[in-house]
Each structure stands twice: as C-alpha cells, then as structure tokens.
A and B are shown apart, each in its own frame.
Chain A
Amino acid sequence: MYVNDEKIAFEEIIEGVREFLAEEFEIDPSDILPENSLKETLDLDSLDYVDLVVLIEEHLNIKLTGEDFKGIVTFSDFYSLVRQKLGR
C-alpha cells in the first residue's frame, strides 16, 4: 500500500485497514463497522494492542503510542486517528 500516493482515497486506505485487521485478528470483515468497539470487536488485550501498533506501522508507516489510544473507542475513532496521523 503506497500511502504517499495522493491518488489513493482515504476510504481505500480504511478498506485496506479493515482487511488486514480482519485477517490478523481472525474475524469477519463485516463485523468491522465504524460504530463498533475496536477493543471488543477485535477482542484486544493489552498485548494485542502491540500487535495492532506493529500492523499499522508495517502497512501504513505510522507510529502509534499508548497516548494515541486514549479516547479511542470505536473503529470510527480509530480511523480518525489514522487520518490525523496520515495528515489527511
């Protein structure tokens, strides 16, 4: 995924995020809805958050910190964080 290519719409990036999250956390992509809880849907414990950080860095070249996750409840919140980090 070439995140620096301005031609890639943000929606396409989010679709890619849904795909790799579904694959990594072994859930149905249709369960990843904007209003759903990130933590509950992906069944994240504190160790899993590190995997999420690694995935996001590998796929989008974004570095996330523990501070970034404060206030992140839903996938919509998470996508907003990704948008902010990508500067879009």
Chain B
Amino acid sequence: MIEKQSITDIIPQRAPFVMVDSILSVAPDRFVSTLFVDPENTLVSQGLFTESGMLENVAQTSAAGFGTLTGEEGEAPRRGYIGSITRVEVYSLPEVGSQIRTVVTPTHRLDNIVMVSGRCYLDEILLLECEMKIVLA
C-alpha cells in the first residue's frame, strides 16, 4: 500500500489538489486506490464529491499506478498527464464522509500514451466510469 505522503513522490499534484489517499494495489493490468471525501476537499460542492473530483481521482490513480510500475522497473517514476477523457458516465455522486474506491484498468498502449478504463465505487455501487488517455512524460 502506498500512503498519501508517498503518492506525491509519483504524481505532480500537491495539496489541496491531491485526490488519492492511498494506493491499495498496483499490477500491470489494474490499479486500485481509495479516497475519503473530506468536507474540506476542494472538489466538494453542496456536500457531494463532484464529477470533476472523481475524474481527477481516476487520473491521479492512473498516474500513481504507472509511476509505481516504472519505479519498480528501476526507472525514475514517469509522470502521467490527462490526454483526453471520453465515455464518461456518472451514476451517482458520493457524499462527504464516504470513502470511494477507484479501479483503473489499462486497456491499450501506444508508445507513451495509455488508454485506461476507470471506475469509481462506493462500496459495490458504481458511481462513475470513463475512459482516459494518459500521456506518460
């Protein structure tokens, strides 16, 4: 598990814009993270974690996952940036005080651009799904 203080070693974002608390697992085909929705979170609005917040959470989970993988291969962690976001479906927004779990699955890769599928859950309830292209710098 990678905790918040170490996540900032592999993603460029800094407080108050870090949208991942911990990385539960990283494998080449699946990254899993958690985030507690704090009432003070910048991307909370009217007591709910916004769609933008969850998309940023997916992107940061992706970046942290790829950064961890490259670090494990002995390279300097490569930072990931959002190239595009498509096929966004939002089913529900989580309330403050809840903890979401995000699963990112890399589906295709072409050189330094990776397409991922991202899903955010509250318990087993699917909150949001999307596809993103992550550009690895």
Contacts and interface: CB of A to CB of B under 8 A. Distances in A.
Interface in A51-76: 53-54, 57, 64-66
Contacts of A49: 110, 113
B136 to A, nearest CB: 12
B113 to A, nearest CB: 5
A27 interface: no
A54 B107 CA distance: 9
Interface in B90-137: 107-108, 110-111, 113, 115, 133, 135
A16 B115 CA distance: 24
Interface residues of A, number: 10
A33 interface: no
A49 B108 CA distance: 11
A46 B108 contact: no
Contacts of A46: 113
Contacts of A8: none
Contacts of A47: 83-84, 113, 133, 135
A38 to B, nearest CB: 14
A3 B58 CA distance: 35
Given A50-B110, A54-B107, 12 more contacts: A47-B83, A47-B84, A47-B133, A47-B135, A49-B110, A50-B108, A53-B108, A53-B110, A54-B115, A57-B108, A65-B110, A66-B111
Lowest 6 CB-CB distances: which A-B pairs, in order? A66-B111, A47-B83, A50-B110, A66-B110, A47-B133, A50-B113
Interface of A: 46-47, 49-50, 53-54, 57, 64-66
